[in-house]
Amino acid sequence: MEKKEAGKIKESLKTAADWIKKKDKFALISHYDADGLTAAGIMGKTLQRENKEFKTKNVKQLYSETVKEIQTMGENFIFTDFGSALIPKIEKNFKGKWIVLDHHQPKTKEQDSESHVNPAFFGLDGGKEISGSGLAYLLAKEMSEKNKDLSALAIVGAVGDMQDFSGKLIGKNREIMEDGIKEGVLGVKNDLRLYGRISRPLTQFLCYSSSPILPELTANEQKCSEFLKTHKIELREGEQWRSYEDLDAGEKQKLASAIAMHLAEHNTPEWKIRSMIGEVYTLKNEELKSPLRDAKEYATLLNACGRHAQPEIGLSVTMGDREEEFEKAILLLAQHRKELRAGIELMQSRGVEEYENFYFFDAGNEIKDSIVGIVAGMLYGSGAIPGNKPVIAFAMHEDKTIKVSGRGTQDLLRKGLNLGQALKDVCAELGESAEGGGHKIAAGCRIEEKEKEEFLKILDTKIKENYT
């Protein structure tokens, strides 16, 4: 039964592909994170190859001003990696001239429009089996088999949305990965999954690890270099700083077990240690030392662009720029890392408040609202908080509303946590001014400052109710 359902998504994508072939002058609107930027890159490339005219815009949300601007951008409208929660609004403003490809929880159980493609309508899990960029890729493949080289970008998007959290890609993501391997654009192997294995010098590789945070090592370069020396791993080869990829098989294994041992000594749960090893994805057409060579590093670079309000730079990179825009993206990545590190240090020094069903901290103006969710996620495993409850963080947005970010752990997910639903429920109770939602493991919403206290109180009961 389920297989048959999943087959129908192909029909739905075919309908969308046929519509695109018949139309021209598109506005391509996508979410501003790694998944959204790769989705836009895939669609952009696809439209280019069909000789279609198009303009692009990457947004965080669909505000009324944005709607007006989008209406002037083209005659037909493609929304990727967002839109499922906004179908009535989109239909009202873009009457019959739109398609939405999104994997976030839709508002209806049944497909509400044939222009609306969401894996949830077809028995697929949009949290782990396919992402926004994956949908864009499947559509591109419906348009033409020659678009199969874009599969590597779809994998960057999936990894950006952490759909590889179990240690490997599953479902449709896995089929896309196999396309990439067959096309020769993607490599996959089991290895240490710390961030920066290709482009970071070893010391920084340990120092900036956020998943997992390495107790006493994260954010401490001195200790990291001592740790490597203790385990007799050379930091340099001649003039060159070595990266993890430069190590030989024996050294790699030595380092991986040293890290595992270190984590075990610091009471990191075993599942977390095990999750350090898993699939890593290599983009074979990228330069050997480029951050774009590794799917996770590529995704982080794109997120850095989006979070610094310059998604167009990231989009240029996904569309193929490896010169000026790429250089700008590299600078944004460095800045992003600096801000994350400052955020973690702040939270570690201040500590968090504990509620019955979650941990909480209010970053106020001290951590940007665009990165507060990542910082919250990084607190797990750092020793700052144990993984037994989700963590909720507040940060002040420039318009003085409060951005709420929630993060859970894979352990909590296994226990049935649905953070997206919990936040949605609280917002529903607070009334129309608040809106919220997201995924089971990571979700967010926006509230008014005066609602803070009430929000926390209601949330304590809603989280408890949303373990299924």
What is the Rg, in whole angstroms, of the alpha carbon atoms belonging to the chain? 22
x/- string (CB under 5 A) for Mn ion, residues 127-166?
A: ----xx----------------------------x-----
Q: How far is the CB of 205 from Mn ion (least distance, A)?
A: 27
Closest to Mn ion by CB, 87 or 459: 87
- Residues 287-306 close enough to bind Mn ion by CB under 5 A: none
**Inter-CA distances, 237 with 161, 202, 422, Å:** 35, 12, 51
- Helix, strand, or coil (residue 182): helix
Minimum CB separation of residue 161 from Mn ion in Å reads 4
- Note the residue count of the chain: 468
**Span near Mn ion by CB under 5 A; candidates 42-50, 124-132, 145-153, 237-245:** 124-132
Q: How far apart are CA 402 and CA 265, in angstroms?
A: 38
Q: How far is the CB of 49 from Mn ion (least distance, A)?
A: 23
Query: 207 with 219: CB under 8 angstroms?
Result: yes
Residue 451 makes contact with Mn ion by CB under 5 A? no
Question: What are residue 173's phi and psi, to 5 degrees?
Answer: -55, -40
Only segment of 74-82, 203-211, 220-228, 245-253 that touches Mn ion (CB under 5 A): 74-82
**Choice between 134 and 212, CB closer to Mn ion:** 134
Distances (CA, A) of 153 to 37, 311, 324, 336: 9, 16, 20, 22
* Beta carbon nearer to Mn ion, 82 or 94: 82
User: Smallest distance from the beta carbon of 102 to Mn ion, in angstroms?
Assistant: 8
Give the Cα separation of 355 and 256 in Å (integer).
36
Tokens of 60: 């965080």
Q: 132 vs 420, which CB is nearer to Mn ion?
A: 132
CB of residue 104 vs Mn ion: minimum separation in angstroms? 7
Residue nearest to Mn ion (CB): 35
- Cβ of residue 9: shortest distance to Mn ion, in angstroms? 16
Beta carbon nearer to Mn ion, 81 or 246: 81
Given the complex with Mn ion, which of 132 and 390 has the nearer CB atom?
132
Which residue, 81 or 164, is less far from Mn ion as judged by CB? 81
Q: Nearest distance from residue 83's CB to Mn ion, in Å?
A: 11
CA dihedral 444, 162, 149, 193 (to 10 degrees): 150
Minimum distance of Mn ion from residue 122's CB (angstroms): 17
For helices 311-318 and 324-350, angle between their N-to-C axes, nearest 10 degrees: 130
> Could you write out the DSSP letters of every residue in 118-163?
-GGGGT--TTTT--HHHHHHHHHHHH-GGGGGGHHHHHHHHHHTTT
Among 52, 76, 81, 340, binds Mn ion (CB under 5 A): 81
Q: Which residues of 322-353 are buried (b: 16+ CB within 10 A; e: fewer)?
A: eeebbebbbebbeebbebbbbbbeebbeeebe
**Residues 198-227 close enough to bind Mn ion by CB under 5 A:** none
Q: How far is the CB of 131 from Mn ion (least distance, A)?
A: 5
Phi, psi of 235 (to 5 degrees): -80, -25
Candidates 12, 13, 26, 35: give the one binding Mn ion (CB under 5 A).
35
CB nearer to Mn ion: give 35 or 325.
35
For residue 56, the number of C-alpha atoms closer than 13 Å in the C-beta half-sphere is 27
Interface segment toward Mn ion; rule CB under 5 A; list 125-133, 146-154, 352-360, 410-418: 125-133
Question: Are residues 29 and 13 in contact, defined by beta-carbon separation less than 8 angstroms?
Answer: no
Other C-beta atoms lying within 10 Å of the C-beta of residue 240: 11
Instruction: Find the shortest distance in angstroms from Cβ 33 to Mn ion.
Output: 7
Candidates 35-43, 148-156, 185-193, 240-248 — which segment interacts with Mn ion by CB under 5 A?
35-43
Tell me, letter by letter, the H, E, C secondary structure of 286-346. Answer: CCCCCHHHEHHHHHHHHHHHHHCCCHHHHHHHHCCCCCHHHHHHHHHHHHHHHHHHHHHHH
Choice between 60 and 266, CB closer to Mn ion = 60
Toward Mn ion, which CB reaches closer, 83 or 408?
83
To the nearest whole angstrom, how small is the minimum distance from the Cβ of residue 82 to Mn ion?
8
Q: Return the number of the residue (164 or 245) whose C-beta is nearest Mn ion.
A: 164
- Residues making contact with Mn ion (CB under 5 A): 35, 81, 131-132, 161
